[in-house]
Structure 1
Amino acid sequence: MANYIKELRALVGHQPLILNSASGALLNQHQQVLLQERTDTGNWGFPGGYLAFGESFKNALVREFQEDAGLVVQPLQLLQLSDQLQYTYPNGDQVQPINCFYLVTYVSGSLLQQVTNETTRLAYFDLNQPPTFFNEQHAAMFSVLQQHYS
């Protein structure tokens, strides 16, 4: 998937792209949600990412959760379809992500303990204590999750 976006960026530079993405909310037994601290901004977000060409939202979500968090999950319910945000990454890349935000359930695996190219660390957060999110879309998803459980 990274090669697909890398190839697009080689052609268009930092010009805006519309990309499809999937993100998920995994809650533990204490009703805390798992978030990832991102390597690019140092802020927090939901595990997830962009779809590879030909990939479904649900399949991308399962793949991204495994890559970002070390966990196999199953999407349970679509919580939000988001298409309003425009975001510029620290490197200047501009995107309008069309994101499907799912509630997921744990299937198998254990949380990653090492830094990856996208994840500095993973932590569970109380729904009444949001961290600093890396963009408005993730803050809005946290609000949707709070409303879902209120």
Structure 2
Amino acid sequence: MGRRDYENDPHAPAANSLVPAASAVVIDEAGRILLQRRVDNGMWALPGGAMNLGESLPECAVRETREETGLDVEVVGIVGTYSNPRHVFAYDDGEVRQEFSICFLARPVGGRLTVSEESTEVRWFEPSAVDALPMVSGVRKRVNDWRSGVMPAIG
């Protein structure tokens, strides 16, 4: 299913859902960051997705990372909380989702790197190489917040 991201766009459709979600900045022992190229928009992104009933947000980040990258991770911190009501995702099925996400910091503890049905590539990148990659502004903000080492203001 296709997805289009709108952020601070006056032409964005109005949100019709709000779904808790989690993502993960996964860092290996060499200090590299894990990213996946998404099938739905062709952009590089962090692993993440919607929380399921019966799981916590950290469990969601762990599950989504395993599903999307093949890696098992351990959550070791929080990068930030993201809930901009002017950031929505419009899906082909008519859902327009307002962003509400916690981004966690994680480290790999097992598994094997592999693509999923949601990704065409999964790779480790040196932090300096991320700036040249195509990614939506919300993902870039999370990566930059991680690199700055300062948790952003809640909002």
TM-score category, normalised to shorter length: 0.7 to 0.9
Q: Does the 8 Å contact 2:71/2:108 carry over to 1?
A: yes
Amino acid across the alignment from 1:60? C
- Structure 2 matches for 1:1-150, cutoff 5 A? 16-84=16-84, 86-89=87-90, 91=92, 92-112=94-114, 115-130=115-130, 131-133=133-135, 135-148=136-149
Greater helix share, structure number: 1
Superposed displacement of residue 116, structure 1: 2.6
What is the alpha-carbon distance in structure 1 between the residues aligned to residue 98 and residue 128 of structure 2? 28
**Structure 2 unpaired stretches of 5+:** 1-13, 151-155
Displacement over 3 Å in runs of 4+: none
What is the alpha-carbon distance in structure 2 between the residues aligned to residue 109 and residue 36 of structure 1? 16
**Structure 1 unpaired stretches of 5+:** 1-13
Superposed displacement of residue 90, structure 1: 5.3
What is the alpha-carbon distance in structure 2 between the residues aligned to residue 74 and residue 31 of structure 1? 15
What is the alpha-carbon distance in structure 1 between the residues aligned to residue 90 and residue 120 of structure 2? 17
Q: Residues 18-63 of structure 1, C-alpha deviation per residue, up to 9 Å, x if partnerless?
A: 1111111111233220001000011011011110123210111111
Superposed displacement of residue 136, structure 1: 2.1
- What is the TM-score of this pair, normalised by structure 2? 0.78
SS in 2 for 1:122: strand
What is the alpha-carbon distance in structure 2 between the residues aligned to residue 124 and residue 87 of structure 1? 28
- What is the TM-score of this pair, normalised by structure 1? 0.80
Task: Mark the CA change 1:57 to 1:17 in structure 2 (over 3 Å): closer, same or farther.
Answer: same
- Larger mean CA deviation between 117-126 and 91-100 belongs to 91-100
Amino acid across the alignment from 2:16? P
Amino acid across the alignment from 1:45? A
Q: Percent of pairs identical after alignment?
A: 24
Superposed displacement of residue 82, structure 1: 0.7
Q: Does the 8 Å contact 1:22/1:50 carry over to 2?
A: yes
Q: Does the 8 Å contact 2:39/2:120 carry over to 1?
A: yes
Q: Does the 8 Å contact 2:15/2:88 carry over to 1?
A: no
Q: Does the 8 Å contact 1:41/1:90 carry over to 2?
A: no
Amino acid across the alignment from 2:38? R
